[in-house]
Amino acid sequence: MNLFSYLSDPANWQGPDGIWNLLLQHLGYTVASVGLAAAIAIPLGIFIGHTGRGSFLVIGLSNAARAIPTLGLLVLVVLLLGTGIGPIIGVLAVLALPPILTATAAGVRGADHEAVHAAQALGMSPLQVVAKVEWPLALPLVISGLRSATLQVVATATVAAYSSGEGLGRLLITGNATRNYPEMFAGAFMVAVLAIVLDILLGGLGWLASRHASPGRRAGVARGTTAGDHTTGQPTSAQLDLVG
């Protein structure tokens, strides 16, 4: 049996039920779900990380995420709200929210304390401290959370086909129903390829963010802002760089 026979047939890539269209649907589910989760989790994570309040929420959501049965939650939502794109995106966003929230709160909370104290000593407001110090230093960890959530959603979105009939999961369902194993292989293969590509892209973005907030740069800025200019009482160039 040639497992690549379905993928190698050009006819299977075209039309509304073609692989390209199903791939775009799957990607759309992923982007919409992770985007919705990020819109909720990042501001909440910044608040928790900056103030230290609500840490129990992060722990509770992280533990709950490991216990939620994805297919069971999907079936429950479909029974309550009906089929369609909305319920699917809602379920996937719920699953994507904990890793983003946890990473954001941990990143902001773990920002270089010397740099934070130096920024406060310069008279920065709490909002400025978050925007100019804590957020840039937390960004690599935030991207790591987005990366984890994206991979989880890409894998989980295959079950969306049970409700909406869209996405790469359709190849798995129809292939299993008709015992068309090359079609099932095509669905699994394309899900894996999509996950790898998105992981590489987000990994590269995280690498760039890590370089921008490298430990040497953080330490240098922190030392410069802490020291100041003891002879003139004016901010040093390192302090001005931090503010700017």
For the chain, the C-alpha Rg in angstroms (whole number) is 23
Q: pLDDT tens track of the chain, all 244 residues? A: 678 899 999 999 998 889 999 999 999 989 999 999 999 999 999 998 888 887 777 777 777 766 777 777 777 877 777 777 888 888 889 889 889 999 999 889 888 778 888 887 888 887 888 888 888 889 999 999 999 999 999 988 888 777 766 789 899 988 988 899 999 999 999 999 999 999 999 999 999 888 876 544 444 444 444 444 433 334 444 433 433 4
pLDDT at position 244 is 40
Residue 166 lies in a domain: yes
Our separate counts of H helices and E strands in the chain read: 12, 0
Residue 11 lies in a domain: no
Number of structural domains in the chain: 1
Residue 167 lies in a domain: yes
Residue 9 lies in a domain: no
Residue 59 lies in a domain: yes
Dist CA 145 CA 228 (whole Å): 35
Residue 45 lies in a domain: yes
Q: What is the CATH number of the domain that holds 40?
A: 1.10.3720.10
Q: Which amino acid is at 22?
A: L
Dist CA 105 CA 87 (whole Å): 27
pLDDT at position 35 is 96
Going by C-beta distance under 8 Å and a sequence separation of 6 or more, which residues neighbour residue 184? 171, 172, 175, 176
- Domain range for residue 34? 18-243
Residue 4 lies in a domain: no
pLDDT at position 165 is 63
pLDDT at position 214 is 56
Residue 13 lies in a domain: no
pLDDT at position 122 is 82
pLDDT at position 42 is 94
pLDDT at position 230 is 39
